[in-house]
Homo-oligomer: A and B are copies of this chain.
């Protein structure tokens, strides 16, 4: 099988970063003339062809935007998509969705098979343990701008739109403390994810600020499902020193925990306070209703698409990083007397 020359080869030959090669080929504002010339020379020497998998040149006016993201079947991502759609449609763009199922392999396969001749830009939320940075650089080297949202790539120069997980978690835990809860547990997401770490840090800092002890057994890492929340709560109920409140990394876990506690006849709010993260519609439906930190999913979707349209229409538009705050919504599950 014939191997195509990629920007990785150019970077290796010149002993510079893939990102610099990508930016040099795109002629962005921040690459000096000399570097750019060396890159172009090496590209010619290696017979580098842009549009690695394409049958023609990028049209730049296909009015199609591709969205690559881990899941579409949860409330958070489907709301982000709604925001993306709103802005895309207002501006005459269609969107095309690619779902990685949070698999780095599938993500690579999707990127390498993108019909980039019929795309104007890319919105990406990366898979856990994504291994695709060079591939994203390659896409950008081909003149296709990328905006990352929610699960962003740290060491890439591109626009990024995120939410403030740290402060959301901090505010949520402080709300529990202000309502008289002192022994607060945290049922968290998988340990490797950036936003798991940020929410965990928000929890730890709020507890520390109020000089409350943190027991190691009160912090449980598992998955994001209702079932995971149920199991986590079961473990917490077996602790010698039982917590009097639970901060869950998302609403589905919080709801799983509530259902377990309800089945054991434990009064939610009065005996054990609970707070989630997302503002999933279920959080309003369950009884008692669930206090939560609302994620700015719609804003994230809209802003990501707005930034991408700017990158599509203006070659020299500087990458931006935008962080949206969460919003505490107090309901019944975190109030002792109701």
Residues of A near any B CB (own CB < 8 A): 55-56, 62-64, 72-73, 78-79, 81-82, 85, 89, 94-99, 101, 106, 109-110, 113, 115, 117-118, 226, 255, 259, 281-282, 285-287
Contacts and interface: CB of A to CB of B under 8 A. Distances in A.
B94 A109 contact: yes
Nearest to A79: B73
Contacts of A286: 285-287
Copies of this protein, total: 2
A287 B255 CA distance: 13
B97 A113 contact: no
A262 to B, nearest CB: 8
Given A73-B81, A255-B285, A96 B94 contact: no
A55 B117 contact: yes
Contacts of A106: 89, 94
Given A94-B113, A113-B118, A281-B282, 10 more contacts: A55-B56, A62-B113, A73-B81, A95-B98, A115-B115, A226-B281, A255-B285, A282-B285, A285-B285, A286-B286
Nearest to A86: B101
Contacts of A98: 94-97
30 contacts: A55-B55, A55-B56, A63-B113, A64-B113, A72-B72, A72-B81, A72-B97, A73-B78, A73-B81, A78-B78, A85-B99, A94-B98, A94-B106, A94-B109, A94-B110, A94-B113, A95-B98, A95-B99, A96-B98, A97-B98, A226-B281, A255-B285, A259-B285, A281-B282, A282-B282, A282-B285, A285-B285, A285-B286, A286-B287, A287-B287
